[in-house]
Amino acid sequence: MERGAAIDVERPARAPGAPPAVRLAGIRKRFGKVVAADGVDLEIAEGEFFTMLGPSGSGKTTLLRMIAGFERPDEGTIELDGVDVTRQPPYLRDVNTVFQDYALFPHMTVLENVEYGLRVRKVARNERRARADRALALVRLSGLGERRPVQLSGGQRQRVALARAIVNEPQVLLLDEPLGALDLKLRQEMQTELKRIQREVGITFVYVTHDQEEALTMSDRIAVMNQGHVEQVASPTDVYERPATEFVAGFIGVSNIIDRDGRRVTVRPEKVRLLGTDDPAPAGAHVEAGTIVEVTYLGVLTRFVVELESGERLVAVRQNLENAADDLDESSRPVRVAWRPDQEYEINPQLPSQEDP
C-alpha cells in the first residue's frame, strides 16, 4: 500500500513535560465482593502501543471500560492528555473502542459502516467518503466498500471494525481482545497488521489480551495484571527476561523457579543447556546433575523435563536443527543441566500485600 493512502493524523508536537495520553491514578473498582481494580496507577505515552495482559478476572477489561467511560471507578481519576475525564460520559471522550465481536451494522455496506461515526458528527458527505476510503486502504480493504459484513471473512470484518474506529482519528484507540475470535494463523497475521497500522497512524493504542504472544509481539510496553493489581509494567523484553514477580515469570511463557542459597530465581527453559555426564560445562556456568523424566516433541523444539538430585524438576528446550527422533528415547538418561549466572533473574514471590481501604 502506498504511504499516501494512510490517514494523516495531524497532531501538534508534544512539549517537554507534556502529560501522558492516558493517566490512571489510584483507580479502585468493586463489583460486589470482587475487587476488579485495586489502587491502579498507570501512565501511557502518546503514540504508544500499550498492552494490558492478564488472565480472566485480572481486571484488564474493567480498566479499559473505565478509560472508555462505560464504567466509573469507585475511587481515583482518569485523565486523557492531562484532562480529568473521570465523570465524563463516553461520547465526550476522544477515544474509540474495537471489540472482539466487531459490532458492525449488518444492514449497512462496509463503506457505510466506516462512515457511520463521521455521519453522526455531521461531516460533509464528500469528506467522509474520502476519509472512509483512506481508512479502508489503510487496513487493505480497498474495493470492498460495497459489500455487506456477512459477505466478508472474520479477519476482513475485524479490519472493517478497525477502519471504523480509526476514521474518527481518536486520541486513543481501545482494543478489547479484538483478535480472540480468529483462528491462529489469521490472528498471527493480524498482529503484524495491527502494529503496522498503529505505526502509520500514530494513535495511542491501548490493547487488552490474555495472549502472551500477542502482547510480546505488538507492544511497546506491557502491564501484567493479576487480581486487580499491576504486577509489572515494562517492555516485552524486560517482562520476559526480567520478571518482577513469580506470577509474571509463570504467566509469561514457561519459567523454572528455583530456590538456591536463600534466593528465589527464574531461569527460562531456552537458557538451560543439556549436557552429557562427561561433557565439559561452559566456563563459569552453574551446573547440576539430574535425570530426564519426560521428553515432548513440539515440532520446532523438543522439551525435556529433568528431575534434579534435589528433587526439583526443571524444563529445558532444544531447537530441532537436525532430526529430533533420537531425542524421544532419552527418557531416564542421566544428564547435567547448565546455565550462566547472568541468565537467571531474582524474583519476588509476590507483590507486597495491599489492604482494602
Q: Give the model's pLDDT for residue 328.
A: 61
| Reduced DSSP (H G I as helix, E B as strand, rest coil) percent helix, strand, coil of the chain, to 5 | 30, 30, 40
Structural domain range at position 276: 257-346
**Closest to 266 measured CA to CA, from 282, 275, 274, 254:** 254
Cβ–Cβ contacts within 10 Å for residue 24, how many? 23
> Please, is 253 exposed, middle or buried when counting C-beta atoms within 10 Å of its C-beta (0-12, 13-18, 19+)?
middle
Average pLDDT over residues 155-166: 90
Q: Quick one: 230 and 271 in the same domain?
A: no
**Of 246, 268, 295, which closes a domain?**
246
pLDDT band per the 50, 70, 90 thresholds, residue 35? very high
What whole-number distance in Å separates Cα of residue 90 and Cα of residue 92?
5
Specify whether 19 is located in the same domain as 161: yes
Residue that the C-alpha cell 527476561 belongs to: 241
* Mean pLDDT of all residues belonging to the chain: 88
* Per-residue confidence (pLDDT) for residue 253, from 0 to 100: 86
If asked whether residues 96 and 195 sit together in one domain, one would say: yes
Of the pLDDT bands very low, low, confident and very high (cuts 50, 70, 90), residue 6 is very low
When pLDDT is averaged across residues 134-151 and rounded to a whole number, the result is: 91
Q: Is 113 within the bounds of a domain? A: yes
117 and 184 housed in the same domain: yes
Query: Does 355 fall in a domain?
Result: no
Closest CA to 147 of 159, 165, 138, 130: 159
Partners of 83 in the beta sheet? 80
Cβ neighbours, 10 Å, residue 233: 18
Q: Are residues 40 and 152 in the same domain?
A: yes
313 and 277: one domain?
A: yes
Q: What is the largest CA-CA distance in the chain?
A: 78
Indicate which CATH number applies to the domain containing 180: 3.40.50.300
Q: Which of 246, 274, 309 is the last residue of a domain?
A: 246
C-alpha cell at 243: 520478571
Domain endpoint, select from 196, 225, 246 = 246
Q: Is residue 357 part of a domain?
A: no
What's the pLDDT at 15? 60
Q: Count other C-beta atoms under 10 Å from residue 41's C-beta.
A: 12
Q: Per-residue pLDDT tens for 264-278?
A: 899 999 999 999 888
Q: Inform me whether the pLDDT recorded for 322 exceeds 90.
A: no
Whether residue 251 lies inside any domain: the answer is no
- pLDDT value, residue 102: 76
Same domain for 177 and 266? no
Query: pLDDT of 294-320, one tens digit each?
Result: 999 888 889 999 999 989 999 999 888
Q: Which residues make Cβ contacts (< 8 Å) with residue 191, sequence separation at least 6? A: 179, 213, 214, 217, 218
Residue 65 has a pLDDT of: 96
Phi, psi of 301 (to 5 degrees): -125, 160
Is the per-residue pLDDT at 224 higher than 60? yes
Does residue 26 sit in the same domain as residue 53?
yes
The CATH code of the domain that includes 328 is: 2.40.50.100
**What confidence tier does 186 reach under pLDDT thresholds 50, 70, 90?**
confident
Q: What is the rounded distance in angstroms from the CA atom of residue 303 to the CA atom of residue 271?
A: 12
Whole-number pLDDT of residue 5? 39
Give the integer Cα–Cα distance in Å for 232 and 275: 34
| Domains: count for the chain | 2
pLDDT tens digits, one per residue of 77-108? 999 999 999 999 999 999 999 887 778 899 99
The amino acid present at 246, given as its one-letter code, is: E
**CA-wise closest residue to 87 among 95, 96, 76:** 76
Classify residue 235: in a domain, yes or no. Answer: yes
pLDDT of residue 1: 35
Of the candidates 354, 355, 345, 353, the one whose C-alpha atom is nearest the C-alpha of residue 244 is 345
234 and 328 inside one domain: no
pLDDT score, position 212: 92
Q: Return the number of other C-beta atoms located less than 10 Å from residue 114's C-beta.
A: 31
Could you give the strand order of the β-sheet that contains 83-84, starting from the edge strand earlier in sequence? 34-44, 22-31, 75-80, 83-84
The confidence score (pLDDT) of residue 17 equals 73
**Statement to judge: residues 190 and 302 lie in one domain:** no
Does a structural domain hold residue 135?
yes
Q: Note the pLDDT tens digit of each residue in 232-288.
A: 999 999 999 999 999 999 999 889 998 877 888 999 999 999 998 888 888 889 999
Residues 133 and 75 in one domain: yes
Provide the pLDDT for residue 188: 86
Cross-strand partners of 259: 264
Together in a domain, 221 and 275:
no
Distances from the Cα of 89 to the Cα of 41, 75, 338, angstroms: 21, 17, 57
pLDDT value at residue 325: 57
In a domain, 77, yes or no: yes
In a domain, 352, yes or no: no
Cα separation, 344 vs 349, in Å, equals: 15
Question: What pLDDT, on a 0 to 100 scale, did the predictor assign at position 2?
Answer: 37
Does residue 9 have a pLDDT over 60?
A: no
